[in-house]
């Protein structure tokens, strides 16, 4: 079982939960997010960039923080993106919420 809390801090703070096996939580696309996290064995730093998508260059930094557990491993991840679009595209849409 995996349970993650994801928080985006920027102009608007947002928080969602994601549970995998069984899939659930408040993430808008939990099945898709769990599939993508399973492909990288829960290593958020290895999530690929969504292919063929360009984001605007405006600077409105968004910091994503993820805490919880992926299977038996503790997860503590923080990364700052240029803007909300870059957070979504840069995480293959796992951070699109």
pLDDT tens-digit map of 48-90:
999 999 999 899 999 999 999 999 889 999 999 999 999 999 9
Name the residue among 46, 17, 20 with its Cα closest to residue 35: 20
Q: Looking at the whole model, is its pTM more than 0.85?
A: yes
């Amino acid at each position: 079982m995996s349970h993650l809390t994801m928080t985006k801090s920027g102009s608007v703070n947002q928080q969602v939960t994601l549970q995998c096996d069984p899939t659930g939580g408040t993430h808008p696309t939990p099945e898709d997010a769990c599939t993508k996290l399973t492909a990288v064995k829960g290593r958020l730093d290895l999530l690929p960039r969504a292919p063929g998508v360009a984001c605007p260059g405006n600077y409105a930094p968004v910091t994503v923080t993820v805490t919880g557990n992926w299977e038996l491993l503790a997860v503590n991840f923080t990364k700052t993106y240029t803007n909300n679009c870059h957070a979504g595209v840069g995480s293959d849409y796992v951070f699109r919420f």
